[in-house]
């Protein structure tokens, strides 16, 4: 597949977006990175990228909620990988309006501009749109259940994106990653929360529910899914799960991390970290058959052995003092 196409990555300053930006730049693509404008002129995680990557990427600072800025960002691009979103579930209980503006209206701005300029879109969804699994493994035909304002906003965003394909023929793919983890992830997510607490010397770890299960995916597998989706004609008009098909509870995840870090710990339930009962997603397990069939993608970190390898790489990154110092492990990060 030609690497001469111009690729816009929204949310390029974030966790997955920065890994995706680095990967595509190194693969030879012409990348424009959309980062959230701020007066500090911070490019988020891209500030930590190698000089080689930073010199090759074109930075566009703006706000996904602004239609004019989005149009300027999309203009001249062949593909838009749309990752920009508000993603923290607890914060969506606190400030749901911002999730509608950023996730739904932001996505509308993207697909509207893509329609006008003839760009292809890979829109980022989330396994949270399924809610608690009614059947497993979860295929793309599973009912959508908005169990949090965040989840509801992503359901809305997905449907806006798909509606432009059905209404106007805009080439849209909805990629639905299950729980991605790895270096740079925010400590609002459970794996970095566990690692950073242990790395800072705590041996009593504060967590929410331990019984829910997740289908965790190492970030490079998720990045490869984006590249595979944007390069597959069969993916146009499709919703595609990106998941390992391996399921593990939060409690067992704690054990894997503690073994990797060679410590003995105990877990204490922190009421502030518990979701409202009907909002908790109890079980997630992906059926990624459609992604495999459409693109040839397969996870490199699937099953328990792969999960252990991914956790080891993640721990190694967080244990670097310069990386760990950017996290406030003593605070609950919503």
pTM of the model: 0.95
Instruction: Provide the pLDDT for residue 2.
Output: 45
What is the chain's Cα-based Rg? Answer: 19
Of 145, 147, 106, nearest to 124 by C-alpha is 106
* pLDDT by 10s per residue, the chain, length 334: 445 799 999 999 999 999 999 999 999 999 999 999 999 999 999 999 999 999 999 999 999 999 999 999 999 999 999 999 999 888 999 999 999 999 999 999 999 999 999 999 999 999 999 998 899 999 999 999 999 999 999 999 999 999 999 999 999 999 999 999 999 999 888 999 999 999 999 998 888 788 899 999 999 999 999 999 999 999 999 999 999 999 999 999 999 999 999 999 988 877 665 667 666 678 899 999 999 999 999 999 999 999 999 999 999 999 999 999 999 876 666 5
State pLDDT tens for residues 197-224: 999 999 988 887 888 999 999 999 999 9
Residue 274, Cβ density class (10 Å: 0-12 exposed, 13-18 middle, ≥19 buried): middle
Does a structural domain hold residue 331? no
Please report, rounded to a whole number, the percentage of residues in the chain having pLDDT higher than 90: 85
Instruction: Provide the pLDDT for residue 279.
Output: 63
Does a structural domain hold residue 132? yes
Q: Domain containing 260 — which CATH number?
A: 3.40.50.720
In the chain, the largest separation of any two C-alpha atoms, in whole Å, equals 57
Does a structural domain hold residue 170? yes
Does a structural domain hold residue 329? no
Does a structural domain hold residue 330? no
Number of domains in the chain: 1
Which domain range does residue 16 map to?
A: 6-324
Does a structural domain hold residue 228? yes
Does a structural domain hold residue 33? yes
Of 118, 286, 88, 305, nearest to 189 by C-alpha is 88
Does a structural domain hold residue 192? yes
């Amino acid at each position: 597949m030609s690497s001469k196409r111009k690729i816009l990555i929204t949310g390029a300053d974030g966790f997955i977006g920065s890994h995706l930006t680095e990967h595509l730049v190194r693969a030879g693509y012409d990348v424009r990175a959309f980062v959230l404008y701020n007066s500090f002129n911070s490019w988020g995680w891209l500030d930590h990228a190698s000089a080689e990557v930073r010199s090759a990427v074109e930075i566009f600072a703006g706000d996904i909620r602004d239609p004019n800025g989005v149009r300027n960002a999309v203009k001249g691009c062949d593909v838009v990988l749309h990752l920009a979103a508000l993603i923290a579930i607890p914060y969506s209980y606190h400030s749901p309006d911002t999730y509608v503006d950023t996730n739904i209206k932001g996505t509308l701005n993207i697909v509207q501009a893509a329609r006008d300029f003839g760009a292809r879109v890979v829109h980022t969804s989330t396994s949270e749109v399924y809610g608690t699994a009614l059947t497993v493994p979860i295929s793309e035909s599973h009912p959508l259940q908005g169990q949090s304002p965040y989840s509801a906003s992503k359901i809305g965003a997905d449907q806006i994106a798909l509606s432009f394909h059905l209404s106007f023929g805009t080439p849209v793919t909805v990629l639905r990653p299950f729980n991605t983890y790895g270096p740079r992830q925010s400590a609002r997510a459970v794996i970095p929360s566990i690692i950073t607490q242990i790395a800072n010397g705590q041996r009593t770890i504060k967590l929410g529910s331990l019984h829910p299960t997740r289908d965790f995916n190492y970030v490079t597998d998720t990045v490869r899914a984006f590249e595979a989706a944007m390069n597959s004609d069969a993916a146009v008009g499709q919703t595609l799960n990106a998941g390992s098909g391996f399921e593990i509870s939060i409690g067992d995840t704690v054990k894997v991390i503690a073994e990797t870090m060679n410590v003995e710990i105990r877990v204490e339930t922190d009421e502030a970290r518990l979701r409202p009962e009907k909002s908790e997603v109890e079980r997630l397990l992906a059926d990624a058959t459609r992604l495999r069939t459409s693109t040839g993608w397969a996870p490199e970190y699937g099953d328990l052995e792969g999960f252990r390898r991914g956790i080891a790489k993640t721990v190694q990154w967080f244990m670097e003092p310069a990386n760990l110092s950017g996290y406030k492990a003593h605070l609950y990060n919503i």
